[in-house]
Structure 1
Amino acid sequence: MKGANKQPLDIKNPGDLRNLYQDESCSMEPVKQESNYLEVTYLEKLRTSLKDMSLPAGRRNFFTVVLITAGTAVETIGFRQYEFKPNTIYFIPENQLHAIEHWSKDIKGFHVIFDADYFLLCLRNQIRLHFYPFFQPDKLPYLQLSVTEADIMATLFKKIALEYNNRRSVNDDLLVRLYLNVLILEVEKLYQHKMDKAAIDIPRRYQLVVNFKKLVEKHFLDKKPVAEYANMLYVTPQYLNDTVKEFTGRPASSFIYEQLITEAKSQLLQTGETITQIASNLHFADQSYFCRFFRKHAGIAASEFRYKHATST
């Protein structure tokens, strides 16, 4: 992996991705939002804008889905290098180590990136992205498709691209969100049929990180201190935090906070419950503490977040 001995780049949003990897002459319309965004690009267009065909490793703070219809790509996802051929769809989870090693000159297909907030707004009672097997770091991050399956996927990507490019404003994207949801659900069906039991070998210390994140997904409501998770994993809090930070670049506590914020956002957007009720649902002692927590970690007041998205959807 190129630059494996260097600190991975922290890629927080599409703007960072563009600045780090794409040529200044790139004509693609930039995504300006720091959150709640999607960007769809044709691979052949993206390839011509890349500064270099062998790019340093980075951790993307968003999810990526790529469909290759022609040509090949060699990429490192996590701790393994893969060569992706035509009729392959592959996935890069949020915060996963990733590097582009090489894209062939004849590559064609689709490249979609989106953050957790964007997907959260697709439908009520939306499943968390981390629960899909193809976004889990201990499962294979790709699917080899039949010609018919690839055609179906390509049609969905084209619909996402068409509706994305036909938006009259940033918030005029209901069909984009719905087609994204259909794409993820169709991929889930194929993955469960073909690959759901296909685990991959990962370093033992990284397995601790994977197990920690799975425990957080199950217990974030009733277990908030890192020490409680360390106890369940039979390690010290310091060792757990150091290991999580080594492999993700983030402290262990940030994953607990992230789950709480995601659940809070879900309830703010998808229920009519008051902020006091939501604070209680999330096991906060009182509303004021919840509001301070939400503003600190989401960068916006809970009431403002609810109003902003209620008026934009």
Structure 2
Amino acid sequence: MTQAELISIFPPQNSIVERILLIGPDLFRRLEGLAVHECRIFLLLTRGTATLSVGNETIRIHAGHFMDLLVWEPITFMAMSDDIAGWCILPNYEFTNEALNDMKPANSESFKNRHSVPRLTLNENEAAVIEAQLSLFRKCLNDTDHFYRSELCQTYFRSFMLEIGNLMLRKGQAEEESDGVVTRQDMIIMGFLKLVWKYYKEEHNIDFYAGRLCVSAKHLSRVVKDKLGKTPYAVIRDELVQQACFLLKDTTMSIQDISAELHFSEMAAFCKFFKKHNSVSPTMFRASAKKAHQSLLTNINQI
């Protein structure tokens, strides 16, 4: 199921359509048996145990485990104990980007530098801090008549991410539980992702990443497809699209400047790329974002 499909089976007060879904302890069990894909998931288990299939791994988590499951990893909630309770947040990129305003909380790099599924183990007090943030978030989300519901939800999501980042800084790094030896494929994936997040603006060619990892482009493609379910180019492309959307909302940069920032050979190539993956031109995307912003300002001034 995608985020949109999940939203359709939960009460409307639990979501902002096409933006975010928050599932609290009272509805958490509804996830049992569901297979989720193309979703970024933040998961906090507060009671009981659960067994998940994440990509090619089967893992068991218990109360106090916090997880950040990245968008390309298919996830199945296989089984849950009778006393299960937890929180699950599924934001899309647009909501996350607007809420964080391109801020990268401390946990971002720690969760990226991994070869297996991350599990941050929280003590009772730490879990209580995060759950308090999520409770405030849910209260705001449930108030469907609030005029600034979406904007407030972004604020609470940002607060939640900052609390997680604070815990990550205090703990040093995410705790990982592994079944055994790190394989060569694990090392290739970890190295590839680290390189993409560092060089995606400058390097769009798979050969660059393969060369840095000392493997053939064909082998890299095979490993990435097997582990992540998408091609190396798709991983690079997604980073470019997301950054392009963010920069287009910054009206201080021209489309020509954005094209150069993302190292396209010419503006026409960037425009063609953006329209292919967003169904609208950069100009139309920017105009739509500007209109939405002006509408918000008008509503504020009328109060």
TM-score band, normalised by the shorter chain?
0.7 to 0.9
TM-score of the pair, normalised by structure 2? 0.83
Q: Tell me the equivalent position of 1:38.
A: 20
Count of aligned pairs between the two proteins: 289
Contact 1:40–1:110, Cα closer than 8 Å, also in 2 = yes
Higher deviation after alignment, 293-302 or 168-177 = 168-177
Q: Tell me the equivalent position of 2:108.
A: 131
Aligned partner (choices 170, 184, 193) of residue 213 of structure 1: 193
Aligned partner (choices 267, 271, 274) of residue 254 of structure 2: 274
1:304–1:243 CA distance, 2 compared to 1 (3 A): same
Identity over the aligned pairs, expressed in percent? 21
Matched, 1:14 2:21: no
Q: Tell me the equivalent position of 2:272.
A: 292
Q: Tell me the equivalent position of 1:6.
A: none
After superposition, give the CA deviation of every residue in 1:121-171 in whole Å (9 maximum; x if it has no partner).
114342289934235542652222222222211111011111112244898
Q: Tell me the equivalent position of 1:96.
A: 73
1:310–1:122 CA distance, 2 compared to 1 (3 A): farther
> CA–CA distance in 2 between the matches of 1:293 and 1:230?
23
Contact 1:160–1:176, Cα closer than 8 Å, also in 2 = yes
Q: Tell me the equivalent position of 1:7.
A: none
> CA offset at residue 181 of structure 1?
1.4
Q: Secondary structure of the residue that 2:27 maps to in structure 1?
A: helix
Q: How does 1:159-308 map to 2 (within 5 A)?
A: 159-168=136-145, 172-194=149-171, 196=173, 198=175, 200=178, 202-308=182-288
TM-score of the pair, normalised by structure 1? 0.81
> CA–CA distance in 2 between the matches of 1:129 and 1:291?
33
Contact 2:34–2:76, Cα closer than 8 Å, also in 1 = yes
Q: How does 1:149-164 map to 2 (within 5 A)?
A: 149-164=126-141
More helix by share: 2
1:55–1:122 CA distance, 2 compared to 1 (3 A): closer
Contact 2:274–2:280, Cα closer than 8 Å, also in 1 = yes
What stretches of structure 2 of length at least 5 have no aligned partner? 294-303
Contact 1:171–1:312, Cα closer than 8 Å, also in 2 = no
> CA–CA distance in 2 between the matches of 1:108 and 1:152?
16
1:280–1:254 CA distance, 2 compared to 1 (3 A): same
> CA offset at residue 222 of structure 1?
2.0
> CA–CA distance in 1 between the matches of 2:15 and 2:119?
26
1:289–1:122 CA distance, 2 compared to 1 (3 A): same
Matched, 1:106 2:83: yes
> CA–CA distance in 1 between the matches of 2:54 and 2:259?
37
1:72–1:197 CA distance, 2 compared to 1 (3 A): closer
> CA–CA distance in 2 between the matches of 1:88 and 1:197?
11
Contact 1:43–1:108, Cα closer than 8 Å, also in 2 = yes
One-letter identity of the residue aligned with 1:67 = L
> CA–CA distance in 1 between the matches of 2:105 and 2:198?
12
> CA offset at residue 285 of structure 1?
2.4
> CA–CA distance in 2 between the matches of 1:112 and 1:275?
33
One-letter identity of the residue aligned with 1:28 = P
Aligned residues: CA RMSD: 2.8
1:204–1:307 CA distance, 2 compared to 1 (3 A): same
After superposition, give the CA deviation of every residue in 1:9-46 in whole Å (9 maximum; x if it has no partner).
xx4x3234468xxxxxx552386855xx1100123313
Q: Secondary structure of the residue that 1:99 maps to in structure 2?
A: strand
> CA offset at residue 241 of structure 1?
1.1
One-letter identity of the residue aligned with 2:4 = G
> CA–CA distance in 2 between the matches of 1:80 and 1:197?
18
Contact 1:40–1:112, Cα closer than 8 Å, also in 2 = yes
